[in-house]
């Protein structure tokens, strides 16, 4: 499996994770390939620093030593890491920027989704900004202050927005108007045919290097699938 390496030294390995690949072994089928198993065959022992969902692409950082792993874990715990995501969503909100501050509890329903829970949930904050608008879709920037399971997906869900291709939190006909039309269904089917993965991409990750202390920022280009969908929307081929 071809995985693009964005940066590598004695302490860090930063890659552009493709959608469809697990970060860690799948709990139901541990024989499925995952980032750690694929990359350790090429570069030696690796430690997982943070996770991206299976359907999410983009910047993923792994430590190449136990010392680097400890340093990076501390940075995540102290909220010294800056992460930026882009999400292509079904829906076109009236707001331009919005901060969602709602506590989250993972595995909160029968579908094992993360839910809003004011009593038992843990604090979760996500900053959202519209980057580009289409008729029934928009491209959002999402900056999570916290790192809760499915945080961006769950917070968007509470706003009535669905990430394209998200089968767990998505709904086929979430539109800004709330109306179901034959054209919207057709648009969705065509777009989802192009986007076999989920339209959530980790654009950048910023940390302090565990050995030098230097502030470093790593960025990952969009996948080919996401670029194709955006080009189609921009060309108005699907009513975008």
Which residue numbers are catalytic? 53
Pairing status of strand 200-208 against strand 47-48: unpaired
For residues 138 and 89, give the distance between their C-alpha atoms in angstroms, rounded to a whole number.
6
Task: Report angle CA 209, 224, 2 to the nearest 5 degrees.
Answer: 60
CB 45 within 8 A of CB 10: no
CB 220 within 8 A of CB 6: yes
At 96, give phi and psi (nearest 5°): -95, -40
């Amino acid at each position: 499996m071809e995985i693009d390496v964005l940066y590598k030294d004695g302490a860090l390995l930063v890659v552009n994770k493709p959608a469809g690949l697990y970060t860690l072994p799948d709990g139901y089928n541990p024989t499925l390939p995952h980032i750690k198993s694929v990359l350790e065959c090429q570069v030696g022992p690796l430690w997982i620093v943070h996770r991206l969902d299976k359907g999410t692409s983009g910047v993923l950082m792994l430590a190449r030593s136990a010392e680097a792993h400890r340093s990076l874990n501390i940075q995540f715990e102290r909220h010294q890491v800056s992460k930026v995501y882009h999400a292509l969503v079904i829906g076109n909100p009236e707001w331009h920027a919005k901060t969602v501050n709602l506590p989250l509890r993972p595995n909160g329903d029968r579908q094992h989704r993360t839910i809003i829970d004011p009593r038992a949930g843990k604090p979760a904050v996500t900053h959202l900004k519209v980057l580009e608008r289409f008729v029934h879709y928009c491209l959002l920037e999402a900056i999570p202050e916290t790192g809760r399971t499915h945080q961006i997906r769950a917070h968007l869900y509470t706003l009535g927005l669905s990430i394209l291709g998200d089968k767990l939190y998505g709904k086929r006909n979430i539109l800004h108007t709330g109306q179901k039309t034959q054209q919207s269904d057709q648009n969705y089917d065509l777009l989802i045919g192009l986007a076999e993965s989920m339209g959530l991409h980790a654009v950048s990750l910023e940390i302090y290097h565990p050995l030098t202390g230097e502030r470093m920022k790593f960025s990952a280009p969009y996948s080919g699938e996401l670029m194709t969908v955006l080009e189609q929307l921009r060309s108005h081929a699907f009513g975008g």
